[in-house]
């Protein structure tokens, strides 16, 4: 339970076996190497450079080939553990047989050719559009691209409203210019034209025209024949380019199909190796030996030691407890019922090595709160069925994901229970469609948020008080444990007395308890307040500042009021999912009244609606109880701030490595 005890291991070994040792440490997956990678042994440096180069090649191939690859294993399947199982020796054999750099060269060539083809094709399409605009021209295009001895042609375009001014400008040069216009109607916006000019005044006239709004279009020099001839030629060459592009893409797909399965495996292999050599690079060295230091969980230390000593007799393995000045990483170790909740602590921040692991403390509350927020037996059944199906279909779900799913399975159980006792089954499905079950439902109901929400509000706030007070007691324990008894009493116990006293006074005012009890709780509240007053002012000098800080501290009780009221969300969210369910059933019932197709519409509305409601309410029922843990509960005693335990492991993104 809690943060796992770690041992610090020092491992001395001969350089000749450094590969085997590093591989063994990596395969155990429980060793976090200590040290920084700067200035590691030169022999390791070379190995690391080699594997990093391979990783770069693999990354390039993955990036380029993935869009062309139709992966037979979907990424969801992969995440849920459907990966080929291979051994490291298979992988290293594959790595030796696969010449990554020659594949890269080939793929780069293809990529380059495809890129160039795309460029040519887009050029050709631009030309095609240009020719399309000049179909009105009766002369061969050589009149523009070459001209004659005395004449030269210019292709251009002008805005319709500037055509008049352009024509007026040209009329001054009527002897030296001839304008051929695209046939157009009033709606035309751009009018294409070809201007024939005498060579001696061409530049002068052209300049005048450009000032009047003419945009000159560049006609590529290879166009010599008539527009129709050139269009036909261009169409043929575009078809050829498209064919070539298609065949290049096909080649690329073939390459992807041939190499991607290996590249994926090699991605894991080379990434593992890079990790391994980076870790090895953190070692210290003498001429012949290396020294690797690492953290290892105390319970695994012996296994690791045996494994290492089996490799070579020339090793020395020393274990020691972490020194008082060292801050080891934190590995959460909890029993199988609490372990799924580890992720909630890890999402916040892992505890310090010598701190408290809040996971077992928050687990029952999260379990309960999730149930109250979703609070529907029908939704719980859907969740459990989905999870059951998932575990049936996927037999090799990786541990972290498995825990996360199990967390939802637990939450579904509490949702089911709360759904039963609050009488919610797909909202008010029973009342709406299964009236014969109403007596059963009513018999099992303990609370009724729909007609008596104040009751559930009271329960929610009471749970809030319990949660917060529990947090304070943990803080007090933590302070006592660290020898800070004064802080424990002044900052934790005092508030506990005040809040619990005040709450019980509220209960006592209801007259449900005998009067001497009232005295006790009043005394509790007063003692609590006095301690808070004293604690806040104890380090201040002067009676005035003591009194002011005392009152300021007592004013802090408003934050407890806010904290407690925050738990009203348990009612609101549970109520929300029940009412959304009710609305869906109501709409379904209304749809059923449509003649002939009504029942189809009703089924669609009810099934689709409840699925939507489940998804949106699970999100709410996850986020809000989590917030109650992080903000209200952790606020009392937990700050996290530890380093997560990150052991050296094999990369298993695409394959599962067989030991």
Contact residues toward another protein (CB under 8 A) are: 344, 346-348, 453-454, 457, 565-566, 568-569, 571-573, 575-576, 579-580, 582-583, 586, 589-590, 616, 619-620, 623-624, 626-627, 630-631
- Taking the complex as a whole, the smallest distance from the CB of residue 644 to another protein amounts, in Å, to 9
- Taking the complex as a whole, the smallest distance from the CB of residue 328 to another protein amounts, in Å, to 20
Looking at the DSSP bridge assignments, the partners of residue 315 are 13
> What's the token pair of residue 261?
């399965």
- Taking the complex as a whole, the smallest distance from the CB of residue 627 to another protein amounts, in Å, to 5
- Taking the complex as a whole, the smallest distance from the CB of residue 623 to another protein amounts, in Å, to 5
- Taking the complex as a whole, the smallest distance from the CB of residue 254 to another protein amounts, in Å, to 25
- Report the residue number, 216 or 619, with the smaller CB distance to another protein: 619
- Report the residue number, 17 or 579, with the smaller CB distance to another protein: 579
What is the rounded CA–CA span in Å between residue 550 and residue 219? 88
Within a 10 A sphere around the Cβ of 559, how many other Cβ atoms?
10
Within a 10 A sphere around the Cβ of 399, how many other Cβ atoms?
9
- Report the residue number, 289 or 349, with the smaller CB distance to another protein: 349
Tell me the backbone φ, ψ of residue 322, rounded to 5 degrees: -60, 135
**First-to-final CA distance of the chain:** 28
Within a 10 A sphere around the Cβ of 429, how many other Cβ atoms?
22
Q: Report helix, strand or coil for 155.
A: strand
- Report the residue number, 353 or 575, with the smaller CB distance to another protein: 575
Looking at the DSSP bridge assignments, the partners of residue 178 are 196
> How far is residue 114 from each of residues 64, 119, 521, 647, measured CA to CA in Å?
12, 9, 82, 43
- b/e map 475-511, b = 16+ CB within 10 Å: bbebbeeeeeeebbbbbbbbbbbbbbbbbbeeebeee
Q: Report helix, strand or coil for 332.
A: strand
- Report the residue number, 344 or 553, with the smaller CB distance to another protein: 344
What is the rounded CA–CA span in Å between residue 256 and residue 114? 15
- Report the residue number, 469 or 618, with the smaller CB distance to another protein: 618
- Taking the complex as a whole, the smallest distance from the CB of residue 67 to another protein amounts, in Å, to 11
> What's the token pair of residue 159?
């805005």
- Taking the complex as a whole, the smallest distance from the CB of residue 632 to another protein amounts, in Å, to 11
- Taking the complex as a whole, the smallest distance from the CB of residue 495 to another protein amounts, in Å, to 22
Is the dihedral angle over the CA atoms 262, 263, 264, 268 positive or is it negative?
A: positive
- Report the residue number, 590 or 600, with the smaller CB distance to another protein: 590
- Taking the complex as a whole, the smallest distance from the CB of residue 316 to another protein amounts, in Å, to 37
- Taking the complex as a whole, the smallest distance from the CB of residue 512 to another protein amounts, in Å, to 24
- Report the residue number, 491 or 582, with the smaller CB distance to another protein: 582
Radius of gyration (C-alpha) of the chain in whole angstroms: 39
- Report the residue number, 402 or 569, with the smaller CB distance to another protein: 569
Report whether 621 contacts 573 (CB < 8 A).
yes
- Report the residue number, 219 or 582, with the smaller CB distance to another protein: 582
Question: Nearest to residue 397, comparing CAs of 658, 86, 81, 652?
Answer: 81
């Amino acid at each position: 339970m809690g943060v796992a005890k770690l041992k610090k291991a020092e491992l001395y070994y001969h350089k000749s076996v450094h590969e085997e040792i590093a591989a063994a440490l990596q395969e155990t997956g429980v060793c976090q190497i200590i040290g920084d990678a700067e200035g590691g042994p030169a022999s390791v440096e070379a190995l690391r450079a080699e594997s990093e180069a391979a990783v770069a090649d693999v990354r390039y191939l993955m990036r380029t080939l993935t869009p062309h690859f139709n992966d037979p294993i979907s990424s969801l399947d992969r995440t849920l553990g459907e990966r080929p199982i291979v051994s490291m020796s298979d992988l290293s054999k594959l790595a030796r047989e696969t010449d990554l750099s020659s594949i890269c060269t080939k793929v780069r060539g293809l990529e380059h050719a495809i890129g160039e083809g795309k460029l040519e094709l887009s050029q050709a399409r631009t030309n095609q559009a240009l020719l399309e605009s000049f179909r009105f021209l009766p002369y061969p295009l050589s009149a523009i691209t070459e001209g004659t001895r005395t004449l030269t042609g210019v292709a251009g375009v002008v805005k319709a409203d500037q055509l008049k001014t352009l024509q007026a400008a040209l009329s001054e040069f009527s002897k030296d210019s001839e304008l051929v216009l695209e046939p157009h109607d009033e709606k035309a916006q751009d009018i294409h034209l070809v201007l024939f000019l005498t060579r001696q005044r061409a530049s002068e006239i052209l300049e005048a025209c450009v000032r009047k709004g003419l945009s000159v279009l560049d006609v590529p020099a290879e166009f010599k024949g008539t527009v129709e001839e050139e269009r036909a030629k261009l169409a043929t060459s575009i078809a050829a380019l498209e064919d070539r592009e298609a065949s290049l893409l096909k080649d690329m797909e073939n390459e992807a199909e041939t190499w991607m399965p290996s590249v994926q495996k090699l991605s894991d292999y080379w990434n593992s190796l890079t990790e391994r050599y980076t870790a090895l690079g953190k070692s210290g060295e003498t001429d012949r030996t290396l020294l690797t230091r690492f953290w290892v969980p105390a319970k695994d230390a012996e296994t690791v030691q045996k494994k290492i000593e089996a490799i070579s007799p020339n090793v020395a393995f020393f274990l020691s407890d972490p020194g008082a000045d060292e801050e080891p990483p934190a590995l959460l170790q909890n029993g199988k019922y609490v372990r799924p909740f580890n992720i909630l602590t890890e999402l916040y921040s892992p505890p310090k090595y010598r701190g408290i692991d809040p996971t077992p403390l928050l687990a029952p509350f999260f379990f309960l709160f999730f149930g109250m927020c979703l609070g529907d037996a029908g939704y719980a059944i859907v969740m459990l069925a989905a999870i059951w199906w998932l575990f049936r279909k996927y037999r090799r779900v990786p541990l972290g994901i498995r825990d996360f799913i199990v967390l939802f399975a637990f939450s579904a159980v509490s949702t089911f229970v709360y759904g039963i006792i609050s009488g919610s089954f797909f909202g008010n499905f029973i009342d709406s469609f299964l009236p014969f079950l109403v007596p059963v439902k009513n018999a099992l109901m303990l609370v009724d948020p729909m007609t008596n929400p104040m009751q559930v509000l009271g329960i929610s706030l009471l749970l809030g008080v319990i949660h917060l007070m529990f947090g304070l007691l943990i803080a007090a324990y933590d302070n006592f444990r660290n020898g800070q008894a004064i802080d424990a009493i002044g900052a934790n116990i005092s508030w506990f007395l005040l809040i619990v006293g005040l709450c019980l006074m509220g209960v006592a005012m209801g007259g449900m308890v005998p009067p001497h009890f009232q005295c006790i709780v009043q005394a509790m509240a007063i003692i609590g307040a006095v301690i808070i007053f004293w604690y806040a002012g104890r380090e201040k000098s002067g009676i005035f500042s003591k009194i002011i800080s005392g009152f300021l501290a007592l004013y802090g009780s408003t934050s407890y009021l806010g904290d407690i009221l925050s738990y009203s969300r348990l009612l609101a969210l549970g109520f929300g999912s029940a009412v959304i369910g009710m609305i869906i059933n109501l709409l379904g019932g209304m749809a059923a009244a449509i003649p002939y197709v009504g029942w189809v519409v009703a089924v669609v509305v009810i099934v689709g609606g409840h699925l939507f409601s489940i998804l949106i309410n699970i999100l709410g029922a996850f986020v809000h109880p989590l917030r109650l843990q992080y903000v209200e509960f952790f606020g009392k005693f937990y700050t996290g701030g530890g380093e997560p335990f990150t052991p050296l492991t094999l990369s298993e993104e695409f394959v599962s490595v067989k030991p």
